[in-house]
Amino acid sequence: MAFDQREFRNAVGCFATGVTVVTTLDKEGDRVGITANSFSSVSLDPPLVLFCVDAKINSFEAFENCENFNINVLSENQIELSNAFARSSEDKWDGIEHVFGDNGCPIFENSIAVLECDKYAIHSAGDHLIMVGQVTKIAYETVERHPLLYFNGAYASLS
Ligand SMILES: Cc1cc2nc3c(=O)[nH]c(=O)nc-3n(C[C@H](O)[C@H](O)[C@H](O)COP(=O)(O)O)c2cc1C
């Protein structure tokens, strides 16, 4: 390999993405959430999406074993929410306003879009797990809303 991990991260970081917080419940019913920019749509029929979860993070087992998860697509005024779910912490949910979707997983009401998912498949891929979800419910609001973006290791904005 003619490049190291830092260079690989720099190269893939040239691909601008949105930012999501993916939520689920663990086997005790406790709320779990991580900031994730590995989200992608996959299939229209059936409606499938994916995100990738790092095998090293505390939330890994919860996602591996979950039945449902929610993808909250963040708007540019949700940077604090993104930061709250971007690193391991005992109190990720302290002071975080949320409701619960039909599938029981947390939702952040100011998100630009929310995709409620049933777990459809999981695929092991190197040091990550590819989580594929079948979308069961959608909500979105794009009028006068700008997405939070991530590019080159930093947040960015359309406006
Ligand atoms: C912009 C951004 C995007 C991220 N995307 C992912 C991702 O797609 N998959 C992932 O596993 N971690 C991703 N992370 C890191 C996780 O959010 C972080 O490791 C997680 O919150 C750790 O929490 P835990 O140890 O409580 O599970 C991302 C972080 C940031 C700041």
Give the model's pLDDT for residue 144. 87
Amino acid identity for residue 74 in this structure: L
User: Percent of the chain, pLDDT > 90?
Assistant: 95
Q: Is the pLDDT of residue 135 over 80?
A: yes
Pick the atom of ligand 1 nearest to 19's CA.
1
Pick the atom of ligand 1 nearest to 38's CA.
8
Predicted TM-score (pTM) of this structure: 0.97
H or E element that contains 31: strand 31-36
Which residues are near ligand 1 (CB < 6 Å)? 19, 34-38, 51-54, 57-59, 85-88, 150
Q: How far, CA to CA in Å, does 50 sit from each of 28, 42, 76, 130, 146? A: 24, 7, 22, 7, 22
Give the model's pLDDT for residue 74. 98
Domains of the chain: 5-157 (2.30.110.10)
